[in-house]
Amino acid sequence: MKKINIRNMQVNQEGTIASIKIGGELGRRIRDMGLVTGTEIKIQGRAPLYDPVALRVKGFTLTLRNNEADHIEVEVNG
């Protein structure tokens, strides 16, 4: 198990959110959409220019920009 940033995850890679180190509006929006510690996510895909990223979380698809995803640390296998 190791912790990496969403930016460094591969498409279709899965993981569990370890921490979200951001408060304020961005933090609130991220959490409102169900990205909280312990949530399982999967990288669904990336936009043609690699940014934003689409995540699968709690059965729906969520997009966020790479610089927004940088605040989220994910625990992955391997």
Partner 1 sequence: MNFCVALGGNPNAGKTTLFNALTGSRQHVGNYPGVTVDRKEGRYVQNGHDMHIVDLPGTYSLTAYSVEEVVARDFLVNERPRVTINIVDASNLERNLYLTIQFLELGIPTCVALNMIDVARSRGIEINDKKLSRLLGVPVVPIMARSGFGKKALMDAVETVAKAPLPQPLRVSYGRDLETAIQEMEKNIAGKNFLTDLYPSRWIAIKYLENDEQILKKGRETDPQIADQLEAVTRKVGAHIEETLETYPEAIIADHRYGFISSMLKQRVVKERHDKHRLFLSDRIDKVLVNRFAGPIIMLLVLMGLYQFVFTYSVVPAAWCEGVFEWLSDVVSTALPDGLLKSLIVSGVIDGVGGVLGFVPLILFMFFGIAMLEDSGYLARVAFMLDRVFQVFGLHGSSVMAYIVSGGIAGGCAVPGVMATRTLRSPKERIATLLTVPFMNCGAKLPVFALLIAAFFPHSRARMMFILTLISWGGALLAAKFLRMTVVKGASTPFVMELPPYRLPTFRGLMIHTWERTWQYVKKAGTVILGISVLLWAAMTFPRLPDSQIEYYDTQRGGIVSTAAPQVVKELETSTGEQPLSDSAAELKADLLAVEARQAGAALRYSLAGRIGTGIGSVSRWAGFDWRTNIALLGGFAAKEVIVSTLGTAYSLGEVDAEAADSLAGRLAAEPGWRPLTAWSVMIFIMFYAPCFVTVICIARESSWKWGVFSMVFNTSLAFFLAVIIYQAGVALGY
Q: Which residues contact 29 (CB under 8 A, 6 or more apart)?
A: none
Tell me which of 33, 70, 73, 76 binds partner 1, using CB under 8 A. Answer: 33
Tell me which of 56, 73, 75, 76 binds partner 1, using CB under 8 A. Answer: 56
* Signed CA dihedral, 18, 23, 29, 31: sign only: positive
> Is position 73 an interface residue for partner 1 (rule: CB under 8 A)?
no
Interstrand relation of 40-46 and 14-20 (parallel, antiparallel or unpaired): antiparallel
CB of 1 to partner 1, least distance (A): 19
DSSP string, 29-59: HHHHTT--TT-EEEEEEE-TTS-SEEEEETT
Tell me which of 4, 18, 54, 76 binds partner 1, using CB under 8 A. Answer: 54
Query: Which chain residues interact with partner 1 by CB under 8 A?
Result: 14, 19-21, 23, 25-34, 36-39, 42, 44-52, 54, 56, 58-65, 68
